[in-house]
Amino acid sequence: MASLRNIASTRLASTADESHAASWRRLASPIVFHRWAGQALPWFAVLAGVLAVAGLWVGFGIAPTDHQQGEVYRIIFIHVPAAWMSMFIYLVAAMHAALGLIFNTRLSPLMARALAPTGALFTVIALWTGAAWGKPTWGTWWVWDARLTSELILLFLYLGYLGLVSAIDDPRRADRGGAILLLAGVVNVPVIYFSVQWWNTLHQGASVSLTAAPAMAHTMLAGMLLMVGACWAYSIAVALARVRCLIVERERLAGRR
């Protein structure tokens, strides 16, 4: 009797797991994802606002003044999250582009298109805040430093992708061409991240590492992590809003054919 109960419970658990997996697979359908994104978008938007307010309050109001750089270091609470997101979003967009290229999925190319403008925005913010930080720190707005140059190349990759997919009228051809460009540019991301270690650059090393204790006060770290969370939530909210528009456009275009 006990063995029968165990078999029955195992089958029920297996059925539940299959049902759960099937529900996630249904999100690959643009129509289903459009509905889900509309429900999730407000939550991420509110979360982004709350985290941004908290992060700015901690970073600019509570965190102590740095003993070396003074008040100018507070740019870190905007610069570092923007730089991280510029690289991370590119990798996620490239992953979606690869899925669309290999498996011919309908939603993946749209996700790549939805993410790219936000990634480009964060790249601009990272470059701009880096220049504002570099002027009082290095005495110049710009140097052809390895990290700065590779970050600028990242911006060109984003703009090149957006220009390419906009210039090609056939959506499938545009998706394939954009995917190839995104995948070719992935090699630039580790160059950005490891440039400080590989070359002798002006740019300072990482203040936060997975293998070492953070080289900053706890309140500084808390403010920066709150801003990172705000950037994550903002990126998801904006990508969901943008992909909903792209789904409608793609379905309307398919209906005309």
For the chain, the structural domain boundaries read: 40-64+75-256
Q: Which residues pair with 209 in a beta bridge?
A: 212
Question: How many helices, marked H, and strands, marked E, lie in the chain?
Answer: 8, 0
Q: Write the pLDDT tens digit of every residue in 149-172.
A: 999 999 999 999 999 999 999 999
pLDDT value at position 7? 41
Confidence class of residue 173 from pLDDT cuts 50, 70 and 90? very high
In sequence order, what E strands does 86-243 have? none
Q: Write the pLDDT tens digit of every residue in 16-61.
A: 444 444 555 777 788 899 999 999 999 999 999 999 999 999 999 9
Give the separation between CA 2 and CA 146, rounded to whole angstroms. 66
Q: What share of the chain is helix, strand, coil (3-state, %, to 5)?
A: 80, 0, 15
Half-sphere exposure of 180 (CA within 13 A, CB side): 7
The pTM assigned to this predicted structure is: 0.86
SS3 158: helix
